[in-house]
Amino acid sequence: MPKIVVSEFMDEAIAREVLGEFDLVYEPTLVDDRDALLAAIADAQAIIVRNRTQVDAELLDHGPNIKVVGRLGVGLDNIDLQTCEARGVTVCPATGANDVAVAEYAISAALMLMRGAWQATDGVIAGHWPRTQSMGREVSGKRLGLVGFGSIARQVATRASALGMVVSAYDPYLATDDPAWSDVTPATLDELAADCDVVSIHVPLTDETRHLIGAGFIKRMREGAILINTARGGVVDETAVIEALRDGRLGGAALDVFESEPPDAENGAAFVGAPNLLLTPHIAGITEEANQRVSLVTAQNVLKHLG
- Each residue of 167-192: pLDDT tens digit? 999 999 999 999 999 999 999 999 99
pLDDT confidence of residue 49? 98
C-alpha distances (whole Å) from 120 to each of 93, 117, 131, 137, 200 are: 40, 6, 8, 15, 25
Cβ atoms of 19 and 61 within 8 Å: the answer is no
Is the CATH number of domain 3-97+288-306 3.40.50.720?
yes
pLDDT of residue 162 exceeding 90 = yes
Alpha-carbon span 73 to 270, nearest angstrom: 29
Q: pLDDT band for 127, please (50, 70, 90 cuts).
A: very high
Tell me the mean pLDDT in the region 211-218.
Answer: 97
Q: What is the mean pLDDT of the chain?
A: 95
What angle is formed at CA 118 by the lines to CA 114 and CA 121, rounded to 5 degrees?
Answer: 155
pLDDT over 70, % of the chain: 100
Beta bridge partners of 228: 200, 254
Instruction: With CA atoms as reference, report the closest residue to 154 among 208, 197, 199, 202.
Output: 202
Domain boundaries, the chain: 3-97+288-306, 99-279
Q: What's the first-to-final CA gap in the chain, in angstroms?
A: 11
pLDDT over 90, % of the chain: 91
Question: Is 232 a catalytic site residue?
Answer: yes
**R_g of the chain computed on alpha carbons:** 21
Alpha-carbon span 263 to 241, nearest angstrom: 15
pLDDT confidence of residue 104? 98
Q: pLDDT band for 143, please (50, 70, 90 cuts).
A: very high
Output the DSSP codes for 94-144.
Answer: -TTTTHHHHHHHHHHHHHHHHH-GGGGHHHHHTT---TTTT-----TTPEE
Instruction: Provide the 3-class DSSP secondary structure of residue 24.
Output: strand
Question: Is 261 a catalytic site residue?
Answer: yes
What are the pLDDT digits (tens) for 53-70? 999 999 999 999 999 999
Alpha-carbon span 214 to 229, nearest angstrom: 13
Residue 70 — φ and ψ, nearest 5°?
A: -90, 125
Beta bridge partners of 277: 253
Instruction: Provide the 3-class DSSP secondary structure of residue 23.
Output: strand
Alpha-carbon span 180 to 182, nearest angstrom: 6
For 186, the enclosing helix (H) or strand (E) is strand 185-186
Q: What is the spatial order of strands in the sheet that 90-93 belongs to?
A: 23-26, 3-6, 46-49, 68-71, 90-93
Which one from 261, 288, 289, 293 is the annotated catalytic residue?
A: 261
Tell me, yes or no, if the two domains 3-97+288-306 and 99-279 fold the same way: yes
Q: pLDDT band for 257, please (50, 70, 90 cuts).
A: very high
Class of 99-279 per CATH?
A: alpha beta
pLDDT confidence of residue 118? 83
Which one from 71, 143, 154, 232 is the annotated catalytic residue?
A: 232
Which one from 143, 202, 282, 293 is the annotated catalytic residue?
A: 282
pLDDT confidence of residue 267? 83
Alpha-carbon span 296 to 97, nearest angstrom: 9
pLDDT confidence of residue 209? 96
